[in-house]
A and B are shown apart, each in its own frame.
Chain A
């Protein structure tokens, strides 16, 4: 069998059985070689859901499990670390408050000096069908079978901007936090939480020093975490808390 991901030569090859192969050049540019039996949407699925994250890695960005959104008040980005329904719901709730999404699910983050930069992705925001219906945003790509999410048309930011703070959702960590929410002081806890958001492929492709430099840059910025005690809150309430926290941060500066 062909290895699904071959990184040993100049051109990386990501092979999806039955769909095709994405080729990633050293400069991060993408080409697709579709299998003969590939369905009509195969190219966009391959490029957006695999080629693009690999291209970001190839260009020196780490991938973070989470989303990056532009705060319309301050103009800079917030990294929201997490996954699953909670993340999708908060992205939608913030989008309803005019926040612009740079990236969802796997957010690329680069480094300029000591500043962490959120890079935009072209891939759409994918949510479950019920959430899509509730959100009021147009569905731009429907489910291709009964199991997949839909892409919704939320406001987007298409340029690289600075990440000024991080919000951490607890579900990745499975820790029985007793606090509802807390600002984390700078220190190893912040580093540890950022590390918990980094898929392992970052380390193997970029090397530990690069990954840690970006981790450290992110950990220097204010971080708010929501613990398990907040699970009863709905996404709107969490989004309001994030907005309020950001207003406080902006007021402090």
Chain B
């Protein structure tokens, strides 16, 4: 174990001066996705490629990359000694907008930041995903009909309820002050997509989950190149092999998965396929999704199946 402090480390006075230096290192890689759209798989691949050497021997490889969520207010405790639990959600948003601009990080290390939130600003118009703190932005989208099926399983809901949820305008997850997660504005499926696609603050690399499944090497090579990460084809192949869905399922059965929902007793890694909705969704639910999200689905190549 390394010594907990470097020899000859500075006293508090010098360290204090560092606090107010400009710290816009642009090292955040926002990994935006609507829930149940493949960001866990992406984080597993990222973790395999960039973090596996840091893990203790024998650790389960079901360990997605460290990917601190912007809505996780514990970082405010860590960096600011701020206890967020009695601040209002709007107040926390205003903190976040400024807080992201002052993060202290190593400039050479991209930090993956998972988020299910839509792109938005605080009440004063400051973006919560500021360009000055952004190295890259990845948006993973998935056919909303498959999202609904996976959503129902993960949250322990009926399919009817899941369909209602992903079609709900301004869908918001309330904050949980005891877990440290602040309020998250998720939006409906198409609102989420539009929020990221239509904003002009950050450049978005769009990934369709279905393309990631079909051509993972090509998609990931493009994404990593876009971020400026030098990852060999062989390493990407290894990462994909290590995170194959059946392996993840088996491993979860053996050792569990800490991101699994308590409302999904059969496990986190359910099916991972594209098009499974055809077996699960009623025609009424398909129609509801396609009506609500017709334009965005068409734009993304998710062809409506029911006449609109």
Q: Which residues on A are within 8 Å of B, measured CB to CB?
A: 1-8, 14, 16-19, 41, 45, 48-50, 53-54, 57, 63, 65, 83-85, 88, 105-106, 123, 126-128, 141, 144-149, 151, 174, 176, 188, 191-192, 195, 199-201, 203-212, 215
Q: Please tell me if the beta carbons of A18 and B177 are within 8 angstroms of each other in the complex.
A: no
CA distance A119 to B102 in the complex (A): 30
Q: Which of B16, B122, B178 contacts A127 (CB 8 A)?
A: B178
Within 8 A of A (CB), among B68-92: 74, 77-91
Determine the residue in chain B with the shortest Cβ distance to A57: B81
Determine the residue in chain A with the shortest Cβ distance to B16: A7
A41 to chain B, nearest CB (A): 8
Q: Which of B9, B60, B80 contacts A4 (CB 8 A)?
A: B80
Chain A interface main SS type:
mixed
Q: A105-B83, A146-B174 in contact; A4/B99 too (CB < 8 A)?
A: yes
B177 partner residues in chain A, CB cutoff 8 A: 126, 128, 147-149
Q: Please tell me if the beta carbons of A147 and B83 are within 8 angstroms of each other in the complex.
A: no
The 9 closest A-B pairs by CB, nearest first: A208-B5, A17-B94, A207-B12, A53-B81, A147-B175, A49-B83, A8-B20, A199-B78, A208-B9
CA distance A205 to B81 in the complex (A): 11
CA distance A17 to B96 in the complex (A): 10
Q: A84-B179, A191-B4, A208-B6 in contact; A201/B78 too (CB < 8 A)?
A: yes
B57 at the interface (CB under 8 A from A): no
Determine the residue in chain B with the shortest Cβ distance to A191: B4
A4 partner residues in chain B, CB cutoff 8 A: 80, 95, 98-99, 102
Within 8 A of A (CB), among B33-92: 60, 74, 77-91
CA distance A5 to B102 in the complex (A): 9
Q: Please tell me if the beta carbons of A50 and B15 are within 8 angstroms of each other in the complex.
A: no
Q: A84-B179, A204-B15 in contact; A54/B81 too (CB < 8 A)?
A: yes
B308 partner residues in chain A, CB cutoff 8 A: none
Q: Please tell me if the beta carbons of B85 and A105 are within 8 angstroms of each other in the complex.
A: yes
Determine the residue in chain A with the shortest Cβ distance to B59: A176
Q: Which residues on B are within 8 Å of A, measured CB to CB?
A: 1, 4-6, 9-12, 15-20, 60, 74, 77-91, 94-95, 97-99, 101-102, 122-124, 126, 174-175, 177-180, 183, 255-256, 258
Determine the residue in chain B with the shortest Cβ distance to A146: B174
Q: Please tell me if the beta carbons of B88 and A209 are within 8 angstroms of each other in the complex.
A: no
Q: Please tell me if the beta carbons of A199 and B77 are within 8 angstroms of each other in the complex.
A: yes
Determine the residue in chain B with the shortest Cβ distance to A56: B81
- Pull 19 A–B residue pairs with CB atoms less than 8 Å apart, ordered by A: A18-B123, A48-B86, A83-B180, A84-B178, A127-B178, A141-B86, A144-B86, A144-B88, A145-B89, A149-B85, A149-B86, A149-B177, A201-B80, A203-B15, A204-B16, A204-B18, A205-B12, A205-B16, A212-B4
B256 partner residues in chain A, CB cutoff 8 A: 176
Q: Which of B4, B11, B180 contacts A84 (CB 8 A)?
A: B180
Determine the residue in chain A with the shortest Cβ distance to B14: A207
Q: Please tell me if the beta carbons of A204 and B1 are within 8 angstroms of each other in the complex.
A: no
A14 partner residues in chain B, CB cutoff 8 A: 80, 82
B78 partner residues in chain A, CB cutoff 8 A: 199-201
A72 to chain B, nearest CB (A): 26
Q: Please tell me if the beta carbons of B20 and A3 are within 8 angstroms of each other in the complex.
A: yes
A149 partner residues in chain B, CB cutoff 8 A: 85-86, 177-178
CA distance A63 to B76 in the complex (A): 13
A147 to chain B, nearest CB (A): 4
Could you list 7 further interchain pairs (A-B, Cβ under 8 angstroms) beyond the known A8-B16, A8-B17, A147-B183?
Answer: A16-B87, A16-B91, A57-B81, A126-B85, A144-B88, A176-B60, A201-B80
CA distance A242 to B86 in the complex (A): 29
A127 partner residues in chain B, CB cutoff 8 A: 178
A146 partner residues in chain B, CB cutoff 8 A: 174
Q: Please tell me if the beta carbons of A192 and B1 are within 8 angstroms of each other in the complex.
A: yes
Q: A1-B101, A205-B15 in contact; A106/B77 too (CB < 8 A)?
A: yes
CA distance A106 to B18 in the complex (A): 24
Considering residues A19, A54, A195, A204, which has the most beta carbons from chain B within 10 angstroms of its beta carbon? A204
A19 to chain B, nearest CB (A): 6
Determine the residue in chain A with the shortest Cβ distance to B74: A83
Q: Please tell me if the beta carbons of A195 and B81 are within 8 angstroms of each other in the complex.
A: no
Determine the residue in chain B with the shortest Cβ distance to A228: B258
Q: Please tell me if the beta carbons of B77 and A7 are within 8 angstroms of each other in the complex.
A: no
A148 partner residues in chain B, CB cutoff 8 A: 85-88, 175, 177
CA distance A237 to B256 in the complex (A): 25
Q: Please tell me if the beta carbons of A147 and B174 are within 8 angstroms of each other in the complex.
A: yes
B3 to chain A, nearest CB (A): 9
A56 to chain B, nearest CB (A): 8
CA distance A88 to B85 in the complex (A): 12
Q: Please tell me if the beta carbons of B4 and A215 are within 8 angstroms of each other in the complex.
A: yes
Q: Which of B91, B178, B183, B255 contacts A17 (CB 8 A)?
A: B91
B5 partner residues in chain A, CB cutoff 8 A: 208-209, 211-212
